[in-house]
Amino acid sequence: MPDRVQRLNVNGKDLQVDAARNERLLWVLRDHLGLTGSKYGCGEGQCGACTVLVDNVAVRSCITLAESVVGKKIVTIEGLAQNGSLHPVQKAFLDAEAFQCGYCTSGMVMASAGLLRKNPQPSETQIKQALNGNMCRCGTYPRIVAAVRMAAGAKTEAPSGN
Amino acid sequence: MATDYLYEPERYELREEPRYHFHFDRRDFFRLMGLGMVVVGVVSGQESGGGGRRGGGARQRPQEIGPWLHIGEDGKVTAFTGKAEVGQNTRTALTQGVAEELRVPADWVRFVMADTARTPYDAGTFGSRSMPDMLPQVRKAAAAARELLIGRAASFLSVDRAQLKVVDGKVLDAASGKSVAYGELVKGQKLFETASIGSAPLTPPAEWKVLGTVVPKVDGRAFVTGKHQYTTDIKLPGMLYGAVVRPPSFGATLASVGSTSEPGVTVVREKDFLGIAAPDRATAQRVAAGVKAQWTTTPQPSDTELFAILKNTAKARTESTKGSIEEGLAAADKKLSTTYTLAYIAHAPLEPRAAVAKWDDGKLTAWVGTQRPFGVQAELANAFGIPESQVHVVVPDTGSGYGGKHTGEVAIEAARLAKQAGKPVKVVWTREEEFSWAYARPAGVIEVTSGVKDGKLVAWDFHNYNSGGSGLGPLYDVPHQRVHFHPSESPLRQGSYRGLAATANHFAREVHMDEIAHEIRKDPLEFRLANLKDDRLKAVFQRAADAFGWGSRSAGAGRGFGFGGGFEKGGYVATFAEVTADKDLKRVKVERVLTAFECGAVVNPDCLRNQIEGGVIQGLGGALFEQMQFADGKLLNGRFSRYRVPRFMDMPVIETVLVDRKDLPSAGAGETPIVGVAPAISNAIFAAVGVRLRAMPLLGSPQRA
């Protein structure tokens, strides 16, 4: 095994990187790949601002080692919209005005997208539980819950096959 | 702080003398912005937002001038303000104001904000001043532009201006149906108008079409797609990453530093500052962690002594006295003396303090997340001994502040490193640095003695130690009162916070009111209304009580209702809470919070609701569990795994009643909705289980014994 991480699959593309094996994924994304949508908030997996999807599961990129995601499919906030059309969660965040300063938003959107992949119809309590590790210091929680519910609704109305 | 480069901010309320600052150059402006029309504003000192620490011997200088508005040849509008956007949606609200007066859709207007080279001077974004001060200013500029455009259209269409009106970015002659677009009217021109000259009428609230309506957050899409560039996201060519070596405890001084040499790495030591700049983040942090630094520490206080220190070091300062407190107390048939305390809390903005600094031929440019771009410009000029004209501060829309980002130490750090390294440097504080090296919301002790006679307050003696003077007054109608704020020597560095001391003073006052009502067996709402003259405050209490269903049902065992309210910064608030709790307070849940809020004419009802909801949630943290613990100059819980903030599972059902007073000027809303939260919860806990909690945080262990 090489002593550096040299390749990561991010947002559907195999990308060349050159990172220490123990470098945290967040810094590989931000500093090496220029994907600054994932945010630093605490560095200890407590605030969720750095949340990305790894093989469809929401993870904290600030405590994820680069070597542990080699060969896996990483999706960041920059890769969530498909062909220029927003993911239902992104659209719902806009419709519900579910942000203030927006710094937590990427992580909130990714955690919500991860939740809906696992559970397309979460109850309000399930949403709160799933997002409890994501912090919004502006206190936009009620709107975020509303946005996730809207996004879940939008999904059921989408034509089958999507 | 002994650490010399840490800049102590204004301590309580912020006052600033206006300064004269004429740097506007017409030719430059049109060259940069393109031809068209520019409206410059003349701002009196009183209007410029107040605050800061500038001035000293400066005399009252009258005016500040700068570009406020530009209308381009395409009819699009660019407006300028020194205010910063930190999530409170000032950008959106100001955009609405300009769109309203110019009769254009909101998306024709773009705001340049918080940039010392491009926007007029502004003291800072704090004190809920953006709506009462800045909104009228930008509206005046837009209205002046509108009138000028009408005048030009009158010549252009050869009609009397009285028969013209403006609609959708055009000036229209209703009689002939002829119209001319703004862009057409300013094509090839260098028009120059001063907003304070000529009194262009502002659109009255009854006729508002954009103001008073729901306009979504400007640039919302950039936030949900991760495209918005915060200061932390900026990367310049050749940029280095900075890291600062912090002292082991508050007040420590740097005695010696071992030598470090590594290719491409710059180590800067200046007095007590020790920093590293390296080509990548990991190297900067590794070198910073490995530097052999010797610090001289001095004994520092611990939180166990906090309240004694605040009492013992207090200096008397009379705020106001009315009648005779002795006389009032002598007349009372019931007296009550109680003491309330509150801990230091952290702003913990999710985007940490961050700056990118770059030097070019002795000129400094700094991108920094701050609420005071011009204040930080002055700090940088001062730190490097250069004129302010050599310092350009740019504030990208920032990941919140809550009053915590008034100072520019991170910009000074980045600039020091950049100067020595000869390359741009970015410094982003770690979360641990944020907790330990930013300033705290002041802790405080508040002592209240009151007297009542026949259900009416007759005496009110109120002493606030250290936490501040905002919202200090009794609000209620009391013939004999003495209200003091006593500044103390604060063990921790402290400064502004959302709502300032109004949160502390409302907590003490509104819990105390509940206590008196209980003592004299009066309904707490009736008791308040019987002692209140202010109709606006009465109205929010009544509206909230009605919506909440106060008095209409009994709570049942282990469930309680409580409320608190008041006014501050032009806004009136009443907060009602429903709480479930068990007797030993092991399990306390805030089930429901209802807020009635009145801040004059509502500018954007959805943004206003968002601010109120956010204030309630942030208020829950300080009310229930936020608390900075410290011992011997070290913060003990300075990270998110140890410092508890509100999370999704803490969220109550939140209801908001907006009282829209179109007949009154718009006040700010970022702060006041937070002040009623803690007393409402404390009073509801008392109603639920009979335990009276007088210390914020209510559920925090009282200062460790």
DSSP letters spanning B32-81? HH-SEEEEEEEEEGGGGT--SS--TT-----EEEEEEEEEETTS-EEEEE
**Residue B339 vs residues B307, B471, B512: alpha-carbon distances, Å:** 11, 17, 9
- The order of strands in the sheet holding B559-568 is B559-568, B571-581, B588-598, B653-659
Residue B197: the pLDDT is 60
Q: Report the pLDDT averaged over residues B447-468.
A: 97
**B12 near B469, Cβ under 8 Å?**
yes
Q: Which two three-digit tokens encode residue B228?
A: 């918005």
Residues of A in contact with B228 (CB under 8 A): 102
**Distance between CA atoms of residues B276 and B558, nearest Å:** 56
Closest CA to A16 of A31, A33, A35, A38: A33
Q: Is residue B316 very low, low, confident or very high in pLDDT (cuts 50, 70, 90)?
A: confident
- 3 state DSSP class of B191: strand
**Pick from B226, B280, B282: which is nearest to A37 by CB?**
B226
Contacts of B473 (CB under 8 A, 6+ apart): B320, B483
Whether residue B390 contacts residue B364, with contact meaning beta carbons closer than 8 Å, is answered with yes
B83 touches A: beta carbon within 8 Å:
no
CA B289 vs CA A9, B129, B239, B282, B285: distances in Å: 32, 42, 21, 11, 6
> Over chain B, what is the mean pLDDT?
91
Cis amide linkage into residue B697, ω under 30° from 0: yes
Which stretch of DSSP H or E encloses residue B547? helix B535-548
How far is residue B503's CA from residue B470's CA, in Å, rounded to a whole number? 8
Contacting residues of A for B430, CB less than 8 Å apart:
43
Q: How confident is residue B4, by pLDDT bands cut at 50, 70 and 90?
A: very low
B641 to chain A: which residues are within 8 Å by CB?
Answer: 42, 44, 46
- For the cut 60, the answer to whether the pLDDT of residue B2 exceeds it is no
Residue B6's CB is within 10 A of a number of other CB atoms, namely: 18
Please report residues of B whose CB lies closer than 8 A to that of A132: 647-649
Asked if residue B13 has pLDDT above 90, the reply is no
Does the beta-carbon distance from B428 to A40 stay under 8 Å?
A: yes
Closest C-alpha among B443, B471, B469, B499 to residue B618: B499
pLDDT of res. B554: 83
Distance in angstroms (rounded) separating the CA atoms of residues B454 and B383: 61
Chain segment B325-345, per-residue pLDDT in tens: 999 999 999 999 999 999 999
- Residue of chain B minimizing CA distance to A76: B226
Please indicate whether, in this complex, the C-beta atoms of B224 and A109 are within 8 angstroms of each other.
Answer: yes
Coil, strand or helix at B236: coil
Long-range Cβ contact pairs of A17-24 (< 8 A, separation 24 or more): A17/A66, A19/A66, A20/A66, A20/B282, A21/A65, A21/A66, A21/A67, A22/A65, A22/A66, A22/A67, A23/A65, A23/A66, A23/B282, A24/A61, A24/A62, A24/A63, A24/A64, A24/A65, A24/A66
Residue carrying the six token digits 């080279």: B117
- Spatial neighbors of A30 by CB under 8 A, at least 6 apart, are A36, A38, A40, B233
Closest CA of chain A from B403, distance in Å:
12
Is residue B66 scored above 80 in pLDDT? Answer: no
Map residue B556 onto helix, strand or coil: coil
Between A and B, how many CB-CB pairs are < 8 A? 165
Nearest to B647 among A77, A106, A135 (CB): A135
Q: How distant is the Cα of B9 from the closest Cα of chain A, in angstroms?
A: 22
Bridge partners of B365? B358, B392
Q: How far is B665 from chain A (nearest CA, A)?
A: 24
pLDDT band at B42 (very low <50, low <70, confident <90, very high): low
Are A139 and B233 a contacting pair at CB < 8 A?
A: no
Whole-angstrom Cα distance, residue A114 to residue A122?
A: 12
Res B195 pLDDT > 80: no
If you average pLDDT over residues B522-537, what whole number do you get? 97
Instruction: Give ∠ CA A60-A63-A64 in degrees, rounded to 5.
Output: 80
Q: Please determine, for residue B146, whether its predicted confidence score (pLDDT) is greater than 80.
A: yes
User: Looking at beta carbons, which residues of chain B come within 8 Å of A47?
Assistant: 350, 431, 640
pTM for the model: 0.94
Q: Does residue B415 carry a pLDDT above 90?
A: yes
